[in-house]
Amino acid sequence: FEHMIRDVLIFGCTGQDGSYLSKSLINKGLSVLGVSRSDKPNVDNLHELSIVDKIQIIQGDITIFKDVQKIIAKHKPKIIYNLSAQSSVGISFKKPYLTSKSIVDATINLLEACRISDFQGTIFFAGSSEIYGETKEAATIQSRIDIRSPYALAKYQSYLQVKAYREIYNLKSVTGILFNHESPLRNKNFVTQKIINGAIECMQDKSKALKLGNLNIVRDWGCAEEYTEGIQAIANATQLKDQIICSGKAKSIKDIVTIVFNNLNMNWEEHVISDKILFRENEANISIGNPNLLEKDLQWKAKITIENVLERMIQHSLKQSKLN
Ligand code: NDP
Ligand code: GDR
């Protein structure tokens, strides 16, 4: 492993998307070097996908310029994916500085390290639909920006950095603006996983309640595993262009709750409580994307429904709960 030249470098390889992306690249025969902040990274996701032995992970902090510079100089990757972030919108309200550092400082470090070393490959940045806030109609890449959280602010700043380095320095840097995408690897604090685990607890103990925030929030949901293919399509395009990855299909939190509880043969109204304490300040009620440009330019479109993803997540969580 030590001085082998790597095809692909992934910052944030231990997360949901980093794991699926690594698996997809490895399956295509590419060698993957992952970066984690930790020298004892949590490899549960990589283990789950049976790729722990097929990926090399090194320690590095993307918020430290020297770390990034050294990694690029030493490993000379052909392509870089930056998926690393404090990725929870909810947490970003309590940790705005950490969130900004993990996204904005990270992006400028990576762009600068690539500029200085005359990096010729593509640098993909995981942007977020949260930059569009409330979408009056399905968001396109030109839609109005509407910042409603420290997380969205950081993602917007980085999106501009990535675009500016492409335009000023001809760096091959590009952003994929991703709408919500879920999977069995989704961290437990995100709403789909919280609903599924909560519903399973209610099934095991009928007296249990599940406290959620605003049930009327509408989002555009998709499948994480599939979106990592869209990410590659954007990064490998002959003409680099910032693109939106979404399903174009809107569902409310109440819809997700209904699908999950129905799947487990329960009536959600007997268990779910909407608690004002869990509402987010100033949150966009509706966020939906328009998938047409990505399909037109790169012939990529989402095919897997959120119902299908939720079904897989439920099966996975049921299996886990029986193991424990
Ligand atoms: P995860 O939270 O699952 O993974 C992100 C990874 O970033 C972690 O595994 C962690 O790896 C690393 N990281 C770096 N700094 C921090 C920090 N301060 N706190 C926590 N983790 C940190 O994210 P996803 O895989 O879901 O998302 C990948 C990227 O795509 C992120 O940038 C996210 O903002 C963006 N995105 C995701 C969407 C989604 O719906 N999932 C939608 C839109 C954008 P380690 O500990 O090993 O360093
Ligand atoms: P979020 O995802 O970090 O907002 O964005 P999350 O799953 O936490 O929230 C999705 C929506 O559900 C609403 N909601 C609740 N959310 C949580 N966590 N807990 C609750 O009890 C609850 N009740 C309602 C939220 O208010 C929100 O509207 C995700 C992340 O992956 C980001 O990185 C990414 O950029 C965006 O998706 C697009």
Is it the case that residue 137 has pLDDT exceeding 60?
A: yes
Q: How far is the CA of 52 from the centre of ligand 2 (A)?
A: 28
Mutation test of ligand 1: which of 17, 36, 87 has the most ligand atoms closer than 8 Å to its C-beta? 87
CA of 126 to the centre of ligand 1 (A): 9
The residues lining ligand 1, judged by C-beta closer than 6 Å to any ligand atom, are: 12, 14-18, 36-38, 41, 83-87, 98, 102, 126, 128, 178, 180-181, 187
- Tens of pLDDT, residue by residue over 28-60, are 999 999 999 999 999 999 999 999 999 999 999
Note whether 46 and 36 are within 8 A (CB): no
Q: Ligand 1 centroid to 308 CA: how many Å?
A: 23
What are the tokens at 300? 């990529």
Instruction: Count CB-CB contacts under 10 A for residue 116.
Output: 12
Mean pLDDT of 108-124: 97
The rounded percent of the chain whose pLDDT value lies above 70 is 98
**How sure is the predictor about 322, in pLDDT bands with cuts at 50, 70 and 90?**
confident
Query: With bands split at pLDDT 50, 70 and 90, how would you rate the model's confidence at 6?
Result: low
Nearest CA to ligand 2 atom 17: 191
Taking residues 132-160, what's their average pLDDT? Answer: 98
The ligand that comes nearest to the alpha carbon of residue 85 is 1
Q: Residue 4: its pLDDT value, please?
A: 52
C-alpha dihedral (224, 98, 123, 50), degrees to nearest 10: -40
Using alpha carbons, select from 11, 18, 96 the residue that is nearest to residue 61: 11
pLDDT of 302 > 50? The answer is yes
Q: What is the mean pLDDT of residues 139-149?
A: 98
Give the pocket of ligand 2 (CB within 6 Å).
87-90, 128-130, 179-180, 189-191, 194, 212-214, 217, 219, 253, 278, 280, 283
Comparing CA positions, the residue from 79, 84, 102 lying closest to residue 157 is 102
- For residue 2, what pLDDT band results from cuts at 50, 70 and 90? very low
CA-angle at 310, arms to 308 and 316, nearest 5°: 105
CA–CA dist 208, 205 (Å, integer): 6
Q: What is the pLDDT of residue 70?
A: 97
Distance CA 172, CA 181 (A): 25
Site to substitute for ligand 2 among 91, 146, 180, most atoms within 8 A of C-beta? 180
Overall average pLDDT of the 7-23 stretch = 98
- Give distance in angstroms: CA of 265 to centre of ligand 1: 33
